[in-house]
Structure 1
Amino acid sequence: MATDGPAKTPRITYVTMAPPRPARNGYAVRIQTIGNVLARHSDLRFLVLQRGHDETSERATRERFAADFVDAPPQAKWQKGLIHAMAAATNRNRWMEKYGMGALCEATRAAIEAHKPDVVVLGSLSIYSIKDRLGLTDQRIIIDHHNVESVNYDRMAATRKGPSRIAPMVDARAFRKLEHDVAGVREHWAVSDTDRALLERIMGVEILTVPNVAQPSAFEIDPKGTAPDAPPVIGFMANYEYYPNVEAAFELFRIVPMLREDGPSFEAFAMGAHPSEALKAGAAEAGVTMTGFVDDPRPLFERFSLLLAPIRSGGGTKLKILEALAMGLPVVTTEMGSEGIPIAREDIGIIAESNADLAAACRALLGDRARLAAMGARARTWARSNASLDVLEPTIAASMARIAEDVAAGKLA
């Protein structure tokens, strides 16, 4: 029988599809920042379901968080193809199938049971597809939606041609089913009010906004490149394992030569891990320096005058844009790139759609350095108030307090 008394600190297992440290992409930034806040309000343990074994990531994660890892061994292409085909044939989510069977499933379930969590936070909608096989019930699940997945994959399908459209179309169908199936879990977290409204319309339940925020290190950047007398530098940053980022990079390679035709002299950089040979070749032809992953990006970030992000697909609030704003950099992007961020309303960047208009926006800012510097200062001020850890904390603290009350009342027994 439950007794009255002070609420106990809730035990939380945060199941993710990548390690939170080092944060080399938007997904890792999201789970790292949420993990930082959860650790202050719960007994938190990460459970990382990752492809292969990465000793560096494990060590970096365990230096900051309590964590367990379940590593999926490499699979031959025919094995992946078979698993994906079976999932598609039954309208299941293909991304987690390997963790729903055999030794990987047993190891994942054992890690959860060993921690004895009050609630499990799923760091991807995909993970819900194996929740029964992991012994999880809806009343003990929070889903952290990194974007509206069905919309995300619909957009990716819309920008592709021919047979390459098939995979995202299949994924969109599977995610639409999942979005219907998950409506009854304990809580849903969305990355912005825009995503919250979309998810509420799809699911018909209340969604909480737990906003994407920039890492504290972004606010420590000295935006020297926005100064009126600084050499102009256009920057882009992304992880190139994600198709919308690859697509945006190729758009960047089309815009830069247009801007050089009748614009000011400038340098252009595309930063980030896992660029393909095709991306490297496209960058070289366009006169864009592709850096690959940079261990210490600060010196280069401090040279940037603006971020150019010609985003045509994808979903959710773009962390690369939030981090650029936190660095004090104006952003030139599309409506899709600015989703969930009031760039035009706050005058912290320029929104345009065509490549010609994006080039014109960059030309206008690089040609009016006083305007660019003022815009960058407003960007950092906006980010401090709207995209820092302080913004994330109240909603997560309240969620953990509700869990603690339910544990004390015996509602999760």
Structure 2
Amino acid sequence: MRILILTPQLPYPPQQGTSLRNYHLLRYLAARHEVSLLSFAGADARPSHLAHLQAFCHTVRTVPAPERSMARRLWTLLSSARPDMAWRLFSPEYARALATGLAREPFDILQVEGIEMAPYLWGLQPPHPFVVFDDHNAEYVLQKRAFLTDLRRPQRWPAAAYSLVQWRRLRRFERAVCRRANGLVAVSQADAQALTALDPRLSPVVVPNGVDLEAYRPDFPPLAGLAHPSLAFTGKMDFRPNIDAVLWFAQQVLPLLWQRDPDMRFYVVGQSPSPRLDPLRAEPRITITGRVDDVRPYIAGADAYVVPLRVGGGTRLKVLEAMAMGKALVSTSLGVEGLGVGDGREALLADTPEAFAEAVASLLADAGRRRALGQAARAFVERGYGWERIGPRLEAVYPRAN
């Protein structure tokens, strides 16, 4: 089949959630179909990145990622009924490139990766290919949770007001996008149910996130020089759910752990740290790394991995990566939502500061339990979350692959 995939950023190198999912599904599909890519590319895109993708894609076309000024963002917020995400990647140049590509080649499938790319569906002219919308998160749910979380803190009420507006707009927009697609993909059963709640006629197919089991393995060499005992969290650190997770853990959980062991260290590993995290830099036992070439040495070197997420949706690639590396994990219930992880079986789950601190402390005091949980976590992802098991589930959405 001839497939055209639209991505919000260049899938290579695959360094965070969206690019990881896009890259591995792209590779799987390209081995079995004629796959073309139309992607936004940032200023950091290099010729070697394009060459890597061109080696297995039929064609690769990129368009510079648009830059939105704050004034422009405020204008669309006030003048449009669409959510902010619908305008984030608005580009007449991209729309022209898509129209040209569709006119030039008779594609069987047009695959739209994420809600930021969905506005381009409104420009399609019939006849057009079978449209698959891969909804990386039930976005309206994410904004609802952000609103409810920020509402509890008066200093976050402006952010809560923004999330309230976006939640309501996303409900309408996400419903309209899903209705325009011929095939609808969700990354978890929870997200599929959230989309069905928008319109009971929708029939989303669950194609979960996965992990590269060869790249993320338990015997990966740890980073030399990490202090112990140590905890790690990885993720893109300008993403609101990750910011909230780190602040909550640092402010509510770590003080309880430091009462037991004042030497405990916390490593926050990921690109683009938000200024909201700057106050944590004054604490020498917390390290905010910023962008690193490879997160795996930090995960491998930590005594345990924490997922203190209170906001978000989808399934978290960071969780699968830590589990694949055989790392003992402590998470909120939301942090592993949609994965089928069992409390005390593949991870420890806790939702209050006191329970979270107790779970972490119990793991750090018991090397045997850490080892057993890590082994169970690795076996869990091997059973169902390697990309070679996930790819066929996406193909099943296509009309001639059933």
TM range (shorter): 0.7 to 0.9
Q: Tell me the residue number matched to 2:60.
A: 67
Contact 2:30 2:56 in 1 (8 A): no
Structure 1's unaligned 5+ residue stretches are: 1-9, 406-413
Q: Equivalent residues in 2 for 1:237-386 (5 A)?
A: 237-254=234-251, 255-263=253-261, 265-285=263-283, 287-345=285-343, 347-386=345-384
Does the residue aligned with 2:283 lie in a helix, a strand or coil?
helix
Contact 2:213 2:382 in 1 (8 A): no
Q: Tell me the residue number matched to 2:139.
A: 149
Return closer, same or farther for 1:203/1:51 CA change in 2, 3 Å cut-off. Answer: farther
Return closer, same or farther for 1:111/1:97 CA change in 2, 3 Å cut-off. Answer: farther
Q: Tell me the residue number matched to 1:197.
A: 193
Q: Tell me the residue number matched to 2:25.
A: 34
Contact 2:147 2:161 in 1 (8 A): yes
Return closer, same or farther for 1:221/1:60 CA change in 2, 3 Å cut-off. Answer: farther
Give the distance between the partners of 1:98 and 1:386, measured in 2 at CA: 34
Q: Tell me the residue number matched to 2:184.
A: 188
Return closer, same or farther for 1:301/1:60 CA change in 2, 3 Å cut-off. Answer: farther
Choose from 94, 97, 113 the match for 1:107.
Answer: 97
With normalisation by structure 2, the TM-score equals 0.87
Return closer, same or farther for 1:73/1:316 CA change in 2, 3 Å cut-off. Answer: closer
Contact 1:13 1:115 in 2 (8 A): no
After TM superposition, give the deviation of residue 250 of structure 1 in Å.
1.1
Give the distance between the partners of 1:173 and 1:143, measured in 2 at CA: 21
After TM superposition, give the deviation of residue 100 of structure 1 in Å.
5.2
Give the distance between the partners of 1:101 and 1:146, measured in 2 at CA: 21
Give the distance between the partners of 1:312 and 1:34, measured in 2 at CA: 28
Contact 1:352 1:361 in 2 (8 A): yes
Give the distance between the partners of 1:99 and 1:234, measured in 2 at CA: 36
After TM superposition, give the deviation of residue 232 of structure 1 in Å.
3.2
Give the distance between the partners of 1:136 and 1:369, measured in 2 at CA: 61
Give the distance between the partners of 1:331 and 1:115, measured in 2 at CA: 47
Contact 2:257 2:264 in 1 (8 A): no
After TM superposition, give the deviation of residue 125 of structure 1 in Å.
2.6
Structure 2's unaligned 5+ residue stretches are: 151-155
> Aligned letter for 1:162?
W
1:132 aligned onto 2:132: no
Say how many residue pairs are matched.
388
Give the distance between the partners of 1:144 and 1:318, measured in 2 at CA: 15
Contact 1:223 1:328 in 2 (8 A): no
Give the distance between the partners of 1:135 and 1:323, measured in 2 at CA: 40
Q: Tell me the residue number matched to 1:222.
A: 219
Contact 1:211 1:391 in 2 (8 A): no
Give the distance between the partners of 1:377 and 1:200, measured in 2 at CA: 36
Task: Name the Cα RMSD after superposition.
Answer: 2.6
Contact 2:299 2:305 in 1 (8 A): no
Return closer, same or farther for 1:258/1:55 CA change in 2, 3 Å cut-off. Answer: same
Greater shift in the superposed pair: 369-378 or 32-41: 32-41
Give the distance between the partners of 1:335 and 1:51, measured in 2 at CA: 35
After TM superposition, give the deviation of residue 120 of structure 1 in Å.
0.7
After TM superposition, give the deviation of residue 385 of structure 1 in Å.
0.5
Deviations 1:308-352 (A, max 9, x none): 111010111111111111111122111111101232257111111
Greater shift in the superposed pair: 46-55 or 372-381: 46-55
Give the distance between the partners of 2:298 and 2:39, measured in 1 at CA: 31
Return closer, same or farther for 1:136/1:293 CA change in 2, 3 Å cut-off. Answer: farther
Give the distance between the partners of 2:94 and 2:189, measured in 1 at CA: 36
Contact 1:264 1:366 in 2 (8 A): no
Q: Tell me the residue number matched to 1:172.
A: 167
Give the distance between the partners of 2:89 and 2:325, measured in 1 at CA: 38
Identity across matched positions, percent: 24
Does the residue aligned with 1:372 lie in a helix, a strand or coil?
helix
Greater shift in the superposed pair: 317-326 or 33-42: 33-42
Does the residue aligned with 1:48 lie in a helix, a strand or coil?
strand
Does the residue aligned with 1:337 lie in a helix, a strand or coil?
helix
> Aligned letter for 1:355?
P
